Structure 1
Amino acid sequence: MIKNLHTLFDNEIIIDKIYHIRGHKTMLANNLTKLYHMETSVLNQSVNRNLKWFLPDFIFQLSESEYSSLTS
C-alpha cells in the first residue's frame, strides 16, 4: 500500500511538470535534470551526442514569449 502511495505521489509530481507547448506534451530541461539527478549541461551534452535517437520535434528551444508565459 505504501509503495502504491509513493508511486502515485511521484506520478503527480511528474504530471505537474508537463506543459502543453506547440501542441505537444513537454517537460523543461531543468525539470528533467531534477528527475534524473543530473546537471543541465550533462543532459544537453548527452542529447547533442545522441541526436539521431530523437525525433525532430522531440527537442526544441522555447521562444522568449513561450518562456515568459511559463515563468510569469
Structure 2
Amino acid sequence: MNEMMLPDEVLASKIYHIREHKVMLDRDLAELYDVKPIRLREQVKRNTERFPENFMFQLMDEEAEVMVSQNAIPSKKHLGGYLPYVFTEHGVLMLANVLRSDRAIQVSIRIIEIFVKMREMLSAHKDILLKLEQLERKSIGHDVDIQLIFGYLKELLNPSQEPRNMIGFTRHGETEE
C-alpha cells in the first residue's frame, strides 16, 4: 500500500478517543508502517524513555472490550493475547523516529496532518456551537416575551363576562341599567 495514496478518511477512521486523548492502535500503525506489530512493540520497549504516558499507554481490559464492541477490534482473540498499546499524536511522531524507515516517516507526517485537520475542524465546530448557544439564549428570552403577548391577545379576544360599571357620571337620582 502506498502511504501517499491513503485517503484522509482511512487514516482518520483509525483514530479513536480514549482517556481524553485521540489515539491510534499499535496494530493499525504497524500495518500503516508496513512492519509486524511485534517489531513495533519491540522498538517501543527498547526506547521506553521516549514514550511517556502522554505519548503512549496500554489499554485496560475494559477499554479493549469497548473497542471490540465498537468494532475497532474484531475480537479480543484478534489481539493475540495481549492488550494493545495506543499512541497519541506525539507518540506517532516518536514512533517514526524509533522505527527509522522512510515509510514510517512519511506515514507519520500524513497522520500528524490528519490530527491537525481534526483539531482545526473541532475548533471550527466549537465556534459554530458557541453561536448556536448564543442564539438559543436570545430566543429563550424572546419566548417569554412572545408568550406574554399571546396571553394579552387572548384576553382581548375573550373579554371577561363580569358585569362592568358604566363609565361616566350619573345625575343624582338616576340608576345604572
Instruction: Give me the TM-score of the superposition, normalised by structure 1.
Output: 0.80
SS of aligned partner of 1:57? coil
Name which of 17, 31, 35 aligns with 2:14: 17
Deviation at 1:54, TM superposition (A): 2.3
Whether 1:31 and 2:48 are equivalent positions in the alignment is no
Q: Which runs of 5+ in 2 are unaligned?
A: 70-177
SS of aligned partner of 2:40? helix
Q: Which runs of 5+ in 1 are unaligned?
A: 1-5
Q: 2:44 matched to which residue of 1? A: 47
Q: 1:45 to 1:9 in 2, by over 3 A?
A: closer
* Corresponding residue pairs, total: 67
Whether 1:67 and 2:52 are equivalent positions in the alignment is no
Q: CA RMSD in A?
A: 1.9
Letter in 1 for 2:40: L
Q: Larger relative contact order (C-alpha < 8 A, sep ≥ 6)?
A: 2
Q: 1:53 to 1:11 in 2, by over 3 A?
A: same
Letter in 2 for 1:21: I
Identity %: 37
Rg larger in structure: 2
Whole-angstrom distance in 2 between the partners of 1:46 and 1:7 = 24
Deviation at 1:7, TM superposition (A): 5.2
Whole-angstrom distance in 2 between the partners of 1:10 and 1:55 = 30
